[in-house]
Amino acid sequence: MTETSQTSPEPLLKLEGISKSFPGVRALRDVSLSLERGEIHALLGENGAGKSTIIKIMGGIQSQDEGQIFLNGKECHFSSYRDAISAGIGIVFQEFSLIPELDAVDNIFLGREMRNALGFSRKNEMTRIAQGIFERLGVKTRFDVPVARLSVAEQQFVEIAKALSLDVQVLILDEPTATLTPTEAELLFNVMRQLRDQGIGIFFVSHHLEEIFEICDRITVLRDGAHVGVLKTADCTMDHLVEKMVGRKIESTFPPKPALQTAERILEAENIRFASNGHPNSFYLRKGEILGFAGLVGSGRTETALALIGALPCPGKRVRIEGREVSMGNPAQALHHGIGILPESRKTEGLILGFSIRDNISINNLPQYTRPIGTIDTAREKRKTQELMSAVHIKAPSDETTVVSLSGGNQQKVVIARWLNRRSKILIFDEPTRGIDVGAKAEIYTLMRNLTAEGYAIIMISSELPEVVGMCDRVAVFSHGVITAVLEGDAISSEEVMRHATASVKKSAVDALSA
């Protein structure tokens, strides 16, 4: 009896020898990877490792310098994103691509609207299809308002629904859980499992490594633009994965906390509310400490910080800095009094994307470079910018590189460098490590601790419980707009934070703070 040789079926998607260069940067070097039918495949690497570039090449947004792409065994050449969509490749980007003024249905069917023989929109039919997709997702949203009025999480699900409406074979999810609550993330994972069971191949990008172990079958790791390994999730550990990503062992993600000290209060805030009928909150911040604002999405963490600096109206508030009462009716006044903010949405609120790194770091700090005759000392500005880029480890060809071309983590570091340049005494970091890889997170955590050692005071707003527990000296826990507890020392634990974040509001913020 003779044996019949059997060949393995072709992968659903295969990339061979992909290379890509930009001026001064080799983004990808001979990268090969594959995606099987019915597989959830993680694409991991530090910021700048090449993940965004390989995604854009798969989606036809950029073209490779070298290499080939095969879909269902046939070589493909994508000259545009529309070509990739037509072939069955859909992408949910980390940064939303929605039209804020349009509703969810119009966003989902944008560019491929259903019309009758007379050319009129078949909105009812499109709405019915959109409702079916959301039922499949297991979530609800409003179809009668512009997406600008939806929550960030709702907008994320509109993006996912748009991709699912394309009847894709390959679905690429770039940081889809970054703005989702754990419950919403689990809904998404259930949908991903359903799609996998239907034979769809999914590339999943996430900096939350615990998610990778929960949902993914295989892992491809990129480092410095090169492919460094393919791992079966079941066969690797967290430590091994981190070492593959960064090329070294990270002994501890969080730097040690300093011994508890009774430092003087640099900031005291009373009667902070972000709704006219909302509950007033009061809190204080000591020099050299990190005060966490924790709670579920929508609990009022960010809104309280914005009300503090005057970005949201807050009649009747009282703010003292170093014991002196100050007026803080708008962010400019807050900046004048030494408060800087790293906003939750760095691209829309923290950066001018078309400007260079130097311009973004200097924009709030030009007086320090201005000569008596009114001109800018560009040489001094350039030296200071390069010094700050080195201090926060911004990876870029030069200080003249435009911010839009940087990875998400490097963009975040540019905002941090701006406030270091300003030497603001009080820093508000809203989701400081969102969209940042594990290696860069450790750098930012160390940077934050170095700042507090120099006397800076930090309010850190975060949705990541390990980050809250590992970094904060005290934690103000929010629920339904109210500070329900302030935890300190050994009382700071994931269990305690969640217990107070999900508890009914029974006592005032002042009572909680004095407890």
CATH code at 318? 3.40.50.300
d(C-alpha 515, C-alpha 512), whole Å: 5
Task: Write the pLDDT tens digit of every residue in 134-176.
Answer: 887 777 889 999 999 987 778 888 988 888 888 889 999 988 8
Both 240 and 91 in one domain: the answer is yes
Both 314 and 375 in one domain: the answer is no
Both 87 and 228 in one domain: the answer is yes
Both 115 and 131 in one domain: the answer is yes
- What is the β-pairing status of strands 324-326 and 318-321? antiparallel
Phi, psi of 488 (to 5 degrees): -145, 145
**Position 254 in a domain:** no
Both 284 and 407 in one domain: the answer is no
Average pLDDT for 441-470: 88
Instruction: Give yes or no for a contact between 3 and 138, defined as CB atoms under 8 angstroms apart.
Output: no
Task: Write the pLDDT tens digit of every residue in 32-89.
Answer: 999 999 999 999 887 678 888 999 999 999 999 999 999 999 999 999 988 998 899 9
Question: Which pTM does this prediction carry?
Answer: 0.61
**Position 3 in a domain:** no
d(C-alpha 397, C-alpha 415), whole Å: 18
- Identify the domain boundary among 398, 423, 448: 423
Both 429 and 411 in one domain: the answer is no
pLDDT classification of 202: cutoffs 50, 70, 90: very high
Residues 6+ apart with CB under 8 A from 204: 40, 41, 42, 43, 173, 176, 192, 211, 212, 215, 216
**Position 429 in a domain:** yes
**Position 251 in a domain:** no
**Position 66 in a domain:** yes
- The secondary structure of 225-247 as a DSSP string is TEEEEEEEGGG--HHHHHHHHHS
Both 283 and 359 in one domain: the answer is no
Tokens of 416: 């941090």
The average confidence (pLDDT) of the chain is 85
Domain assignment of residue 368, given as a range: 346-423
**Position 468 in a domain:** yes
Instruction: Give yes or no for a contact between 89 and 81, defined as CB atoms under 8 angstroms apart.
Output: no
92 bridge partner residues: 173
Instruction: Give yes or no for a contact between 140 and 195, defined as CB atoms under 8 angstroms apart.
Output: no
Number of domain units in the chain: 3
pLDDT classification of 504: cutoffs 50, 70, 90: low
Both 370 and 442 in one domain: the answer is no
**Position 104 in a domain:** yes
Both 269 and 402 in one domain: the answer is no
d(C-alpha 56, C-alpha 111), whole Å: 20
**Position 2 in a domain:** no
d(C-alpha 67, C-alpha 86), whole Å: 21
Return the residue matching tokens 């709030």.
364
- Identify the domain boundary among 219, 246, 273: 246
The answer to whether residue 427 scores a pLDDT higher than 90 is yes
Both 153 and 94 in one domain: the answer is yes
- Identify the domain boundary among 395, 423, 451: 423
Both 364 and 231 in one domain: the answer is no
Both 384 and 492 in one domain: the answer is no
